[in-house]
Amino acid sequence: MSGSVETSRRHVGIGLASIVVGILVVLSISVSAHASGMNYAKAWETLFGARWNGHVQIQASYNDHGRHAKRGYHRFTREAGPSLDTGRLYTSTASSPSDSKIRSREDSVWDSPLWGDKYTTHYYHDFFWF
């Protein structure tokens, strides 16, 4: 009898571990906002959804469909819970369309613990071109 009880406990432990791993994988999935080539932005959540992270990157020498990025930015906003607006958070500015330096920045904000549309953190990004 004690052997079957031990086996049941082991199965429950494996099942719980599988659920925890599954939840962590879902929560760590990044949201790619624009991921083509060297000019891109992405956002992802960490700490079980409590923290929003953003990354924006440019490389002026990269030919992005005939355009060359001069500068990029990203921004986090939230209407309430508490309200949030980081403003535009810029990369440094490339000196010319042939500038091969990779310019990026990464920023994070705390998400609201409250539910509802006005408590949702939004992520925006854009690029300026030569």
The reported pLDDT for the residue numbered 91 is 98
The reported pLDDT for the residue numbered 4 is 55
pLDDT tens digits, 115-124: 999 999 999 9
Domain ranges of the chain: 31-129
**Which residue in this structure is represented by tokens 């949030």?**
84
The reported pLDDT for the residue numbered 107 is 98
- pLDDT greater at residue 26 or residue 72: 72
pTM of the model: 0.73
Helices (H), the chain: 2-27
Neighbouring residues of 127: CB distance < 8 A, sequence distance ≥ 6: 39, 58, 69, 70, 71, 72, 73
Of 30-34, 39-43, 61-65, the one with minimum mean pLDDT is: 30-34
Rounded Cα–Cα distance for residues 105 and 76 (Å):
14
- pLDDT greater at residue 99 or residue 11: 99
Identify whether the C-beta of residue 71 lies closer than 8 Å to the C-beta of residue 59. no
pLDDT tens digits, 66-108: 999 999 999 999 999 999 999 999 999 999 999 999 999 999 9
Rounded Cα–Cα distance for residues 75 and 127 (Å):
12
What CATH number should be reported for the domain whose range is 31-129? Answer: 2.60.40
